[in-house]
Amino acid sequence: MSRVPETDAPASPGESDRLPPGIWKIASVAAIGSFMSQLDATIVNVSLPGLAGTLHATFPTIQWIMSGYLLALALTLPLNGWLVDRIGARALYLWCFAAFTLASGLCGLAWSAPSLIGFRVLQGMAGGLLAPMAQMLVARAAGRHMPRVASMVVMPVLLAPLLGPVVAGGILTFASWRWIFLFNLPVGLLAFVLAWHFLPDDRQQTRPRVLDLTGLALLSPALVFFLYGIDRLGQRMGGALACCGLLLFALYGAWAHRKGDGALIDLRLFGGRVFSASVITLFLLNGALFAGQMLVPVWLIHGCGLSPDRVGWLMTPMGLGMMCAYPLMGRLTDRFGIRKLTNCGALAAFAGTLLLVFLAQHGLAFSILAGALFLRGAGMGAIGIPSMSAGYAAVKREELPVATTALNIVQRLGGPIWTTLCAMALGGQASASPFMTSRVFVMGLGLLCVLHAVLLLTTRLLPVRLAGRGAGKAPGVSN
């Protein structure tokens, strides 16, 4: 497979500063799909206890409304690259949004817990393609300007999981639980119309290829088994499913190596140094984000004796840090380049996490906690978009669909893996102590600190900056 060179001459100043025409329309429409997909991942959380009573189901059964959706998001992800090559990005986005909206309506009409779970799985299967499709549409249209454009697109996606419970609480105050799902109908219809008018027709760029059914049969179950199993690693069935997922991943690796560019995801993409560095960085970043979201609230509640509602407010500096960093990414990337910016971001996140370890060891101080969380948020906010931009810039334009799939799969695995490892470190310390004191959490937060240190090292492998190319070619990267 041909590969884009990892060095290139920079573009002229005029070409460097000029955004492609219509890019903000494309970015805005693409962001709606990613926002809706992420919003629906958390919007049902506050309604689960009420749904258990309304639908006459046990809580372990009703929680599959959430778990089934999250697993379905991973189930269809491997199909992204093949479908884009087969029918085009615009057509796939329209089909996915139509299916997502229709499934939302069916969820609102569900008559029992099993029917609601089934419709949520359908909704998740359609929603699983919306987030990677949004990334790919923006990357394809923006080229080397990806950091400048994506910094504004990522903002609503960042807010979506936070807004989910708030939106659901407002709906449940005035209406039935069904409107949690029926709410998507007018939004989905509007987004479909906007996508129809503003997304570019890319049918001429399709290159139909045979679907790798064997690869699909290995990779999709591997994702579902591994994500479900590692989330329940303390149970016998969870461990067995996680091992089964790892085995299927290994079998897929052997199959893809044999299949070459005919595989569902061509593993030769990972042969490029820049693309591999981007994937590893995003894997570690996702792990640090989700592991921190698990560890810090548990430490504040069980180790420091704070109430959950107070902890919710104390966690806001991290979100503020990320929200402050994202809008500046385009300008900072243009000025300092990929490597310096991500390295400074990783250093800030590491320093913030080190402060958390200090607080767990010596006692809580709210001013230091706020500063530490803000540093973590701003630091991680400075890593994601530049790293993703470097990964997209390292592959040819026609390889973007497969590259998007690979990036999203590896990134999605980082969260549950590192969350489980930090939880295991915490569990071992907690079981050795009769009381959950703040110092019990030093081991778990220390492991999170090690993760940030490794992340700091991987950012050194990213390219110095993105470099422009001529029209019709993929953007390059400069070492």
Type of residue found at 34:
S
User: Residue 477 pairs with which residues in a beta bridge?
Assistant: 466
Residue with tokens 């840090």: 321
Reduced 3-state DSSP string for the chain: CCCCCCCCCCCCHHHHHCCCCCHHHHHHHHHHHHHHHHHHHHCCHHHHHHHHHHCCCCHHHHCHHHHHHHHHHHHCHHHHHHHHHHHCHHHHHHHHHHHHHHHHHHHHCCCCHHHHHHHHHHHHHHHCCHHHHHHHHHHHHHHHHHHHHHHHHHHHHHHHHHHHHHHHHHHHHHCCCCHHHHCHHHHHHHHHHHHHHHCCCCHHHCCCCCCCHHHHHHHHHHHHHHHHHHHCCCCHHHHHHHHHHHHHHHHHHHHHHHHHHHCCCCHHHHHCHHHHHHHHHHHHHHHHHHHHHHHHHHHHHHHCCCCHHHHHHHCHHHHHHHHHHHHHHHHHHHHHCHHHHHHHHHHHHHHHHHHHHHHHHHCCCHHHHHHHHHHHHHHHHHHHHHHHHHHHHCCCHHHHHHHHHHHHHHHHHHHHHHHHHHHHHHHHHHHHCCCCCHHHHHHHHHHHHHHHHHHHHHHHHCCCEEECCCCCCCCEEEC
Do 274 and 477 contact (CB within 8 A), yes or no? yes
Tokens at residue 248, please? 């299927």
Same fold, 21-200 and 267-461: yes
Q: What are the two backbone dihedrals, phi and then psi, of residue 311, each rounded to the nearest 5 degrees? A: -65, -40
> Which mean pLDDT values do the consecutive 10-residue runs of the chain (479 residues) have?
41 54 79 80 71 79 76 79 80 88 92 89 85 77 72 67 72 84 88 85 70 84 84 77 91 87 80 89 88 82 75 80 82 87 94 92 88 92 87 81 82 79 66 54 87 93 69 51
pLDDT on residue 158? 65
Report pLDDT for 13.
44
C-alpha 72 chain-centroid distance:
14
In this predicted structure, what is the pLDDT of residue 353? 94
- Write the pLDDT tens digit of every residue in 358-406: 998 888 888 999 999 999 989 998 998 888 888 888 888 777 878 888 8
Which residues in 358-376 are b (16+ Cβ under 10 Å) and which e?
Answer: ebbeeebeeeebbbbbbbb
Q: State residue 320's pLDDT score.
A: 85
**pLDDT 10s digits, 131-156:** 777 777 777 777 677 777 776 666 66
Strand partners, 476: 467
Q: In CATH, what number does 21-200 get?
A: 1.20.1250.20
Distance of alpha carbon 333 from alpha carbon 114, whole angstroms:
48
CATH 1.20.200.10 fits 267-461, yes or no: no
pLDDT of residue 330: 78
What residue ranges do the domains of the chain occupy? 21-200, 213-263, 267-461
CB 410 within 8 A of CB 222: no
Task: Decide: 429 and 441 in contact? Cβ < 8 Å.
Answer: yes
Tell which residue, 189, 177, 79, has the closest CA to residue 126.
Answer: 79
| pLDDT for the residue 467 | 61
**pLDDT for the residue numbered 302:** 76
